[in-house]
Every structure is written in structure tokens, then in C-alpha cells.
Chains A and B, each alone.
Chain A
Amino acid sequence: MPADRSETHYHAAAAGFAGPEGLASHLATLRQRGYRKLDVLGPYFSREIADGLDAGNNRVTWITLAGGLFGALAGLGVQIYANYAYPLNIGGRPVFAWQPLPIITLEVAVMSAIVFAVIGTLLSCRLPKLHHPDFEIPDFSTSDRFYILVHATDEQFDTARTLDDLKNLGAETVALVPLPEAPS
């Protein structure tokens, strides 16, 4: 790694931990030191850590609700439209009969809500992605390690000081994560 690299050449500083224990309090410590652009990577969800990142929002819930409503309207709409656009007299039943409408309405609503939930989650996480600088963490493996990241865009980020701060947390490994080289 060339010595003259300035902060702008780094993506983040990463501290690796074997388990999720104490990560929430480590986050609080880093916050006290003025760091704001923090992230934690891990093999499974930990509510405590996510709360420490104040990453909470209900966007996915709203997207799912929107999907359900959209599906219900679409399912209902197409049935009503089709009954009038192509009226069929079957056994003298009225053109507009409400009894069969809920079935397809509900089916399409559920399908659309689930599709919205999945696609909405992926897009709100800015996925899918072929690559991300986080993967440049040395020996990256989210299958059994947790990482605290301090992003280089943080105002308090300073290569030497941030690494020290992370080391003081008792991290097993500490490393600077370089930004991928732009293709020349």
C-alpha cells in the first residue's frame, strides 16, 4: 500500500470481531468519539446492533402495503372491466356480480404484496450489485465474522486515529479498506 495515500483513497476502516457480543456498546463508544458514518456487517440479524445503528425504518412495510393495495385494485379492476368489456350471459347471472370478485382480488393482492416486498427490499438496500467496496475488506467473510466499518466519508475519519480507535475496542483484526482502482 503506497504511503502517500490520503483519506480519499479509502473506502472505510474495518474492525473484525468473532461474534456479535459487545458490538452495540462499541458502536456507542464510536458515536461518543464523534463518528457518524458507521455500518456493521454480519452473518445474521441482530436487533441490538441494528438499533445501535439507528437503522430503523418501516419503508419495507409501506412498500408491501402499497403492493397489496395495487394488487387488490388491479385484480378487482380487471375483473370489473372484463365483465363489462366482454359481457357473458351465463345462466342469467347479472353482468356485475360481486360474489366471485374477492377471490381473484385477494389472490392478486397477496402476490403483488410479496413481489413488492421482495423487490422493494432489494432496491432499498441498493441491491443487486455485482461488487461493493465492502468486499475489499481483507479476508472478507460474512459467514462467520462481524465487522464494524467507519466510512472514509465520515468527518472524523483519519487513517491513523480511526485505526487506533478501532483497535482500542478490542477488535481481532483492523484494516483499512481501499477503494477499488478505477479502470484505466
Chain B
Amino acid sequence: MTEARPLSAERIDVVTDLPLGFPAPRTWALCFAFALLLLLCFAVAVTVLFWRGVGVFGNNIPVAWGFPIVNYIWFLGIGHAGTLISALLLLTGVGKRNALNRFAETMTLFAVICAGLYPILHLGRPWLFYWTAPYPNTMSIWPQFKSPLAWDFFAVLTYLVASAAFWYVGAIPDFARLRDRAKGRLGQVCYGLAALGWRGSMRHWRRWEQAYRLCAGLAVTMVFIITAAYSLLLGGGPIPGWNSSIFPPYFLCGAVFSGFAVVAVIMAVLRRAFRLDDILTDAHSDLIGKLLLAVGLMTAYGYLADIFNALYSGEQSELETLHDRISGAYAWSFWGAVICNFVPLQLLWLRRVRRNSLLLAAIGVSVAAGMWMERYMLIVTGLYRDHLVSSWGMFQASLWDWALFAGMIGVFLAPFLLFVRLLPIVSGFELKKASEEARHAR
């Protein structure tokens, strides 16, 4: 296996010092300019939204949720995988983790920010979003805690706070490393402040290790609780096609599935851009490929169980929703999801494909798109035909729906590119430790 070969100390320094002597400033600047363009698109879309109100979106009665919730679930799902992959590999002691965890956790952080913005933006008066928080106020009103919409506030808040804390704790020793290695005064001061005075005392390390493992264990629990919370938001309602107890595990699998797919894409890009073939190895591709395949098959089981539930219930409305999904106006989203999610996925049975990071990334793109169509299918086909024919209606995404979606990709991309530029994309101290241990094991 390639990953057992210990890296030389010089090589580790080169990799972890990437922010100090960035190898491709021009390419980076080009990518960042593109991200800023998307961010501008976001600013325009949000300005239009605030100026003219939520009517600029395509969602209306009966499809009241539309793009904002489709994208909310999609982004949140991507976020789950970063936490899960990092925390689970840490707790199970898989040595390959150290190259993957940092960018996976960063992906989580920014995906959750995008997810959190969506429900706020689709409120009628977004600037009053803080009314969903329980706090003593002059109106003496409190949130309705029996409503799943109040659960969302806590779900996103918890996810954001906890994933930021987990990420930061893991990064403190690397900030200290960069502080010690930075040549310029600005770098020393900025990284020094971020390192909070970390000096690597073994007494501190022991507490750090305890805290990090505890955070990881809690983060795994959190992923389960939060997918359960927002899938019950659908499952708890009387809407045909949603009212099913399969939703919490089905959503979890789908979430992690789409997230692993994005991890595969980011991994391939970083590996290529920074020539990290010895750090993000074929063995890492293999690991992600296996995980992607496993979670993908679980998601496929979710699809089957969902269809089975509808057939087994024998309820007219459930059967009609199933019929609408397979052959209705939005059948493209159902079949698109099935094809993009599960057809290219089958290539991952082949070891050669799993170990090819570019092919894996291509499958990742297909899965990310497929999972987006699945979220679309779930939301829109559930709502566009109700029990009553009189309340049927179609959904068509508007220009501003698409503009906001494109802009939201910028909200993800711009800070992620800053991360790539300013912080080590792999965890330097863990890489060093793993490499030393590999050297001693020989």
C-alpha cells in the first residue's frame, strides 16, 4: 500500500507551509475572481429579494417550499459528510484521516453557512429571523416548540457552532505551527493570534486530545440528531409521499452520500492543483470510493423502501404521489436522481476506478447532481398535487431562484478558496505524527 511509506520531514514542511509560500497565486486569483463573481450574483439576488419580497421566487401555494428548502437540505446534507468522515475516522483510528479531515471539515463549515442562509432568506421578513430564537421580549411571545420549524433554528445553530468549534480545536496546533514557521511579521502576528498562545505542552496536548475526541463523538451523535430533526419536518406532516418513518435514516444516508461525493471532488482538485499525490494517495481515493458505494447502496435501499411503503399502504393518495414521481410532470427529477445517483456508482465496484481520483471525482459530480434532483423530487412532487384537485398547482423555478443558487455556490466557494490560500489544507501535526510513527514501525 502506498500510504505506509513515511514522508520525509522536508516534504511535510513543504505541504504544511503551502500558505506561507503559495505555489500558484495566479490560478488561485483567477478562481477567487470567479468566486467573487458568484458572490456578486448572490448580493444582487438578495438585494432583489429584499426589495421585492419572496414573490421573486418560484415557490407559491401549493409548492410553498421550492428552491430554498431543496437547497437547504442539499447543502446541509453535504455538510454532514465532512463531520462524519472526520469524526468517524478519528474515533476508529484510521491513519488515512489526517490528510482528509481538514478540508472535509472546512467544507462542512461553509456548506452549513449556505444551508443556514436559505431558510432565513425565504422568510417573508428575513430581517426578523431572530424571532425564531427563544428570548424574553417585550411582545411576550415565544416560539412554537411543537412546530418542526422551531427545531430547524436549533438544528442549524447547533450544527454551525459545533462544527466551527470542532474545526477550530483541530486547527489550533496548525496555527501554532504556521506561527513558528512564518517569516513575515504579519503572518507571525495573525497566525499567532489564531493559535491562542498554543505552545505544545504535553499537559495541554493531553487535554486537547481528550477534548478533540469528545467533540468527535458528540459530532457524530449530532449528525444523527440533526438529520432526524429536519427529516421529521417532512415526515411529521400529513403530506402523501412524506409521511413515512423511513425518512430519518433515508435522509442521513442521502446526506452523507452527497457529502462524500463532494469530498471526492474536492480531493481530486486539491490533489491535482498542489501535486499532493503522496499525501492524498490512491488509497484515500479507494477509501472514499468504498464509502461512497456503501452509502449509495443504502440510499438506494431508501428509495426502494419508500416505494414499497407507498405500495404496501395501499392508500390512494400515496399511490398517486408515487405515480406522479415516476411518470408525472417532474418525472425527470425522479429518473435523473436514480440514474445520476446509482448508475455511474456501480463503476466503484472496480478497484481500478476507485483508485483513480479523476474518475471518482466525475462520479462525485454525478452524485452531487443526482442528490440535488432527489431533494427537488422529494419537495416538489410531494406538494404539487394535494388531496384536492382544486389545490393542485405547478412549480417553476424563477430566474432569481437560479441566481440565488449560483450566488450561494459563491458563498461556499469564496471562503473555501480563502481557506485554501491561508490555512494548511492538510493537518500538519497529524501528518507529522503519522509519518514518524510509520517510520518507527518499519
User: Could you tell me which A residues sit within 8 Å of B by CB distance?
Assistant: 19-21, 39-46, 49-50, 53, 55-56, 58-61, 64, 68, 75, 78-79, 82-83, 85-86, 88, 90, 93, 97, 100-101, 103-104, 106-108, 110-111, 113-115, 117-118, 120-122, 124-125, 127-132, 134-135, 140-144
Q: List 10 A-B contacts (CB under 8 A).
A: A41-B199, A42-B202, A45-B433, A88-B144, A106-B225, A115-B162, A122-B196, A124-B207, A129-B196, A144-B13
CB pair A43–B432 under 8 Å, yes or no, is: yes
CB pair B222–A110 under 8 Å, yes or no, is: yes
Q: Which residues of A contact B13 (CB under 8 A)?
A: 143-144
Residue in A50, A59, A75, A135 whose beta carbon sits within 8 Å of that of B202 in the complex: A50
Q: Which residues of B contact A131 (CB under 8 A)?
A: 197
Nearest neighbor of A135 in chain B, beta-carbon distance? B199
Any A CB within 8 A of the CB of B166: yes
Nearest neighbor of A82 in chain B, beta-carbon distance? B142
CB pair A45–B145 under 8 Å, yes or no, is: no
CB pair B180–A117 under 8 Å, yes or no, is: no
Given contacts A107-B229, A117-B165, A125-B203, 5 further A-B contacts (CB under 8 A): A40-B201, A42-B202, A82-B145, A85-B140, A142-B176
Within 8 A of A (CB), among B383-442: 428-430, 432-433, 436, 440
Among all A-B residue pairs, the 4 with the closest Cβ atoms? A129-B197, A128-B196, A82-B142, A142-B200
Q: Which residues of A contact B199 (CB under 8 A)?
A: 41, 132, 134-135, 142
Question: What is the number of contacts between chain A and chain B, taking CB atoms within 8 Å?
Answer: 187
Residue in B161, B201, B207, B225 whose beta carbon sits within 8 Å of that of A114 in the complex: B161
Looking at the assembled complex, report how far the CB atom of B365 sits from the nearest CB atom of chain A, in whole angstroms. 32
CB pair B211–A118 under 8 Å, yes or no, is: yes
Q: How far is the CA of A121 from the CA of B147 in the complex (A)?
A: 36
Q: Mark B184-207, 1 if CB is under 8 A from A, else 0.
A: 000000000000111111111111
CB pair A110–B218 under 8 Å, yes or no, is: yes
Q: How far is the CA of A152 from the CA of B142 in the complex (A)?
A: 58
Q: How far is the CA of A43 from the CA of B435 in the complex (A)?
A: 13
Q: How far is the CA of A86 from the CA of B222 in the complex (A)?
A: 29
Residue in A127, A132, A142 whose beta carbon sits within 8 Å of that of B180 in the complex: A142
Q: Which residues of B contact A132 (CB under 8 A)?
A: 197, 199
With A129-B197, A131-B197, A142-B180 known as contacts, the answer to whether A53 contacts B203 (CB < 8 A) is: yes
Q: Which residues of B contact A59 (CB under 8 A)?
A: 207
Looking at the assembled complex, report how far the CB atom of A126 sits from the nearest CB atom of chain B, in whole angstroms. 9
Any A CB within 8 A of the CB of B209: yes
Q: Which residues of B contact A64 (CB under 8 A)?
A: 211, 214, 218
Q: How far is the CA of A41 from the CA of B200 in the complex (A)?
A: 5
Q: Mark B225-239, 1 if CB is under 8 A from A, else 0.
A: 110110010000000
With A110-B221, A117-B214 known as contacts, the answer to whether A141 contacts B202 (CB < 8 A) is: no
Interface size class of B (residues with CB under 8 A): 35 or more
With A108-B154, A125-B204 known as contacts, the answer to whether A143 contacts B177 (CB < 8 A) is: yes
Looking at the assembled complex, report how far the CB atom of A18 sits from the nearest CB atom of chain B, in whole angstroms. 9
Q: Which residues of B contact A42 (CB under 8 A)?
A: 200, 202, 205
Q: How far is the CA of A68 from the CA of B221 in the complex (A)?
A: 12
Q: How far is the CA of A103 from the CA of B231 in the complex (A)?
A: 12
Nearest neighbor of B166 in chain A, beta-carbon distance? A114
CB pair A103–B229 under 8 Å, yes or no, is: yes
Nearest neighbor of B429 in chain A, beta-carbon distance? A44
Nearest neighbor of B16 in chain A, beta-carbon distance? A143
Q: How far is the CA of A86 from the CA of B208 in the complex (A)?
A: 43
Q: Which residues of A contact B429 (CB under 8 A)?
A: 43-44
Q: Which residues of A contact B222 (CB under 8 A)?
A: 107, 110-111, 114
Looking at the assembled complex, report how far the CB atom of B158 sits from the nearest CB atom of chain A, in whole angstroms. 4
Q: Which residues of A contact B198 (CB under 8 A)?
A: 127
Q: How far is the CA of A92 from the CA of B140 in the complex (A)?
A: 22
Q: Which residues of A contact B162 (CB under 8 A)?
A: 110-111, 114-115
Looking at the assembled complex, report how far the CB atom of B219 sits from the nearest CB atom of chain A, in whole angstroms. 7
CB pair B209–A125 under 8 Å, yes or no, is: no
Q: Which residues of B contact A85 (CB under 8 A)?
A: 140, 142
Q: Mark B155-194, 1 if CB is under 8 A from A, else 0.
A: 1011001100110110001001100110000000000000
Looking at the assembled complex, report how far the CB atom of B36 sits from the nearest CB atom of chain A, in whole angstroms. 32
Q: Which residues of B contact A97 (CB under 8 A)?
A: 146
Looking at the assembled complex, report how far the CB atom of A130 sits from the nearest CB atom of chain B, in whole angstroms. 6
CB pair B210–A61 under 8 Å, yes or no, is: yes
Residue in B146, B180, B208, B232 whose beta carbon sits within 8 Å of that of A121 in the complex: B208
CB pair B218–A114 under 8 Å, yes or no, is: yes
Q: How far is the CA of A150 from the CA of B413 in the complex (A)?
A: 48
Q: How far is the CA of A106 from the CA of B151 in the complex (A)?
A: 11
Q: How far is the CA of A66 from the CA of B219 in the complex (A)?
A: 17
Q: How far is the CA of A26 from the CA of B221 in the complex (A)?
A: 41
Q: How far is the CA of A108 from the CA of B145 in the complex (A)?
A: 13
Nearest neighbor of A63 in chain B, beta-carbon distance? B211
CB pair B165–A104 under 8 Å, yes or no, is: no
CB pair A100–B145 under 8 Å, yes or no, is: yes
Any A CB within 8 A of the CB of B150: yes
CB pair A53–B211 under 8 Å, yes or no, is: no
Q: Which residues of A contact B430 (CB under 8 A)?
A: 44
Any A CB within 8 A of the CB of B9: yes
With A83-B145, A86-B142 known as contacts, the answer to whether A127 contacts B202 (CB < 8 A) is: no
